[in-house]
Structure 1
């Protein structure tokens, strides 16, 4: 999801606090992904991710350091009743990518990164209990990694799991408060279909979901 699409999707959040919380969570997820992409040694990647995990947990007992992403999480997520330790679970999913091989068990563990992010954002948006946010988040995360993995077998497995999860999650009507997340899931499915970012089809699909929940 390119920046322009993200800005549009964020406007689907029901309130300004919910929008700010989702933006903060996505900024954290971006930073974690960047951390791995700019780390060549698995051990160094583990150390860097562990730093983020510990820093997030410390938000439960102390103000954030002078780091913009952590400040955003403290201001817009932790202040709304979500603990830093809960947010730190997103880091656990990213750590899976440090493994040499990604089998189905590892991919499902990685998918938890998206499931946790969507679940926290849905909680802060006061989404309906029936919205399949965790399943959609898992599919969103798997779609993202499926397009980045260099191993054909691992990429195919991630794609297969992503398509199944997204299809199930998007087969129901979403509540209004969760439609920013539903739109993200729809865009992830279009990523898998090869639809170019910013295309009219993508914009129209997201808008239709905002209006109808479908």
Structure 2
């Protein structure tokens, strides 16, 4: 394990254990580097990695703060992992944006309708690797959610649909395959658009077996040996 990996893992473990909580301010780069017995350059790289993953935020003139939101287990129940020692890897979600569009695709084939909303998110799995998630809803369903803040998009979207619209997810069909990465995954994960990536498609149904949402989860290659939990 490199010094960079050691420092990154130590900060992630502190977040997962509750030693560092959302909103906590981190020491200066120099102080933090001294605490972990690494160079300031290594600490800067570790913090940049965690900022990219959405676990911390850096505010000019104020400092660096914990910002990672844990993904509720139900939100990633189809993709949960343990490391080789059997320790669960906590996932964190970062909302990248919301887009409204009428473009057709597998989401429109499933959801039907004319207009849709796509929620783009990045999920960091235990600091080991990242996944790009596209969560599609009919535009009218998204509008019925009312005011949706960024923190709402970084929680369990299925629970949000249940709480605000009384629409539970009663069944999920899922497929996996290798395919070119989605455009969102190319942007957020810096994947090569010409190389195949892992792609998982999920179709959620609600009451009366009505289509509720379409989701795609895309990821690039990673070297860790992990256990998939179902």
Query: Quick check: TM above 0.5?
Result: no
Q: TM-score, normalised by structure 1?
A: 0.28
**Structure with the larger strand share:** 2
Q: Which has the larger radius of gyration?
A: 2
